[in-house]
Chain A
Amino acid sequence: MNNATPTILLYGFGNPARGDDGLGPALAAAIEELGIPNIAVDANYQLTVEDAAEIAGYDAVVFADAATQGSTPFWFSRVDDTTVKRVGNSIGSIGWTSHSVSPAQVVALARDLFASKVAAYALGIRGYEFGDLDEALSSRAIDNLTEAVTFARKALVERQFEHYVQEFGPPAAGDATGGTTWKA
């Protein structure tokens, strides 16, 4: 946290021990370092259900994570939580593990449980190397991170998120908020 009354949350997630999967937390750390007024920053390995309570009170949340597809160096998209209620959609299904929750699920829960009006966006930073245990980002991912930090700083200061959705996203293939096309 870098301000007493932040209204926007930047939330980076991913596993820093899995190479480029650490792009989300790396971006969060870089943004926190900048100390942008009224911007809260958080990071975790993965999203969990209680994140619904955390994001509920903000005007806007930007989820930052590594992307395996889509534009380079990054893309920016609106998180469409209505997709979680589509019949048969994988995002709304129960699944078989507690180790995976999507931004769309978190936003949907925030709306349903806490009457949240938070606007939600996803920043997908293109990564390349995910398979091995490695605490370092790949060189290409570092390049993309540098540009993503510059973009995120500008977006968080200007708060023209809808404008940037038009300019930078969503990714060409698939549903940006579904998760499966980002990394599957």
Chain B
Amino acid sequence: MSVAKRIVIEPVTRVEGHGKVVILLDENKKVIQARLHVVEFRGFERFIQGRPFWEVPVLVQRLCGICPVSHHLAAAKAMDRIVGGENLTPTAEKIRRLMHYGQMYQSHALHFFHLASPDLLFGFDAPVAIRNVIGVAGKFPDLVVQAVLMRKYGQEIIKATAGKKIHGTGAIPGGVNKNLSIAERDVFLKDVDQHLAWAKSAVKIAKDYTVANLAKLAPFGSFDSNHLSLVRADGAMDLYHGNLRAIDAQGATIFDQVDYQRYIDFIAEEVRDWSYMKFPFIRSIGPEKGWYRVGPLARLNTATFIDTPLAEVERKEFRKVTADKPNNVTMAYHWARMIELLHSIEKIQALLNDKDLQGTDLVVKGERREVGIGLIEAPRGTLFHHYKVDKNDLVTSANLIVSTTNNNEPMNRAVAKVAQDHLQGVEITEGLLNHVEVAIRAYDPCLSCATHALGQMPMEMTVLDHQGQILDRKSRG
């Protein structure tokens, strides 16, 4: 390998790995690689070992303050296998689905409001001083109120189905511990039409911006990639359950309808010496070309269709932009995310009108097993939970592949692409910092298990020469 210069973009923060970008240059000062570090939950698997398996669905919610429900449900699905209760009762499955769609709805709304809308509404070349949540609130107050209320609606659904806003206990091995009362249901039904309207308008904002700026957005942090997600047996998007499907950048099937209990035969994880976070890849292709994207963009690419009418119309429009081929535009994540937001509220509406939610048959048990694997489509992508439990009901090993880990290589590639296109010389400009942040925001990496420190994480950029000497350093904040 040639002698390389390094450019370091590093948030000033106490917590190790809270976000750090290292850009490697060759002797000709051309970008050859980017290395993005985010918080990895090192030690969490060990933290779980020795615990009774039934505690795990609650315990794993400590992994994330934004999407604890994803971990709660993935762990519960794994523990369903342990107790032989994976064939849930209709009430249990629908309560879990309602919880999950509430989670998707609130998480996507948060991302839209907090991270995406400033870029979409002002353009990502707009000054930082206005391109933020406060700026959006100042210019589009009604939109921001909607977004806050959308987030709150999802949170209330979680509270009603999981029992609590945090550390919910609703999903238990083999089922759930409560149904949804008529009174609880009616609270949500009262507002669901309003939320459908808001979700449709959010899709429109994302779509209009993406289509209008496609020439500029198409190359931004973009690259061809494989895509992976769960899909239903008929190929429909299913965010709660299904089998694994992987396609390549042109849409050719790599594998399809793989039972995720066998994921380990299809997915492997590469370790690199510079990162605590692993790099998953498709075994049959290998680590160099077998990496893949997960999350809203991948799901819009892998799904044959969406089974809710409004979102399906939007999916077709999304696919039309790329002539029904997979969309590999990084910034299209935002549009895809809003289509899923709409899908989620359509699902919520349908579930609220389903009398099974008031059923009383909540738990099933069957043949005891020692291995449990649970997968779910979390807001940021496919989430893997894999446990072994001994005869004393204690967890002996755990392996978790979180969505952000699945997107590890793509995030690095996105940052590298932005750096290749926007780095001039070795000087870190505000423009470069802005563009790198925009690319990272598309994925919204999860700071799993971080201490959730007060305040933002200001960025500091450092330029190092090939001998590690600092050439430039800039700080924001």
Contacts and interface: CB of A to CB of B under 8 A. Distances in A.
A47 B151 CA distance: 13
Contacts of B19: 96-97
Interface residues of B, number: 64
B44 interface: yes
A102 interface: yes
Contacts of B456: 90-91, 93, 95, 100, 102, 179-180
A182 B454 CA distance: 7
Contacts of B472: none
B133 A49 contact: yes
Interface string B106-118: 0000110111001
Contacts of B165: 44
Contacts of B476: 88, 90, 93
Nearest to A178: B455
Given A98-B114, A184-B13, A92 B451 contact: no
A15 interface: yes
A50 B65 contact: no
Interface string B64-95: 11101000000000000000000000000000
Nearest to B439: A96
A72 interface: no
B320 interface: no
A65 interface: yes
A183 B14 contact: yes
Central interface residue in A84, A105, A114, A122, by most chain B CB within 10 Å: A105
A138 interface: no
B47 interface: yes
A15 B15 CA distance: 13
B133 A97 contact: no
A130 B451 contact: yes
Interface stretch (B170-178, B275-283, B321-329, B441-449): B441-449
Mostly, the A contact residues are loop
Nearest to B379: A98
A46 interface: yes
Nearest to A183: B453
A59 to B, nearest CB: 21
A88 B453 contact: no
B15 A49 contact: no
Interface in A42-100: 43-50, 52-53, 65-66, 68, 84-85, 87-100
A105 B334 CA distance: 23
Interface string A1-35: 00000000000011111100100000000000000
A116 to B, nearest CB: 12
B10 to A, nearest CB: 12
Contacts of A112: 134, 137-138, 141, 144
A157 interface: no
Contacts of B225: none
Contacts of B133: 49, 94, 105, 109
Central interface residue in B68, B458, B459, by most chain A CB within 10 Å: B458
Interface string B441-477: 1001111011111111111000000000000000011
A84 B155 CA distance: 26
A101 B111 CA distance: 12
Given A21-B452, A53-B152, A131-B16, A94 B111 contact: no
7 contacts: A13-B452, A49-B151, A50-B149, A98-B111, A113-B141, A133-B47, A184-B13
> Lowest 10 CB-CB distances: which A-B pairs, in order?
A179-B455, A90-B477, A45-B65, A179-B454, A46-B452, A17-B62, A90-B458, A21-B451, A183-B453, A102-B455
Given A47-B452, A97-B457, A130-B451, 5 more contacts: A13-B452, A17-B62, A45-B166, A97-B115, A108-B134
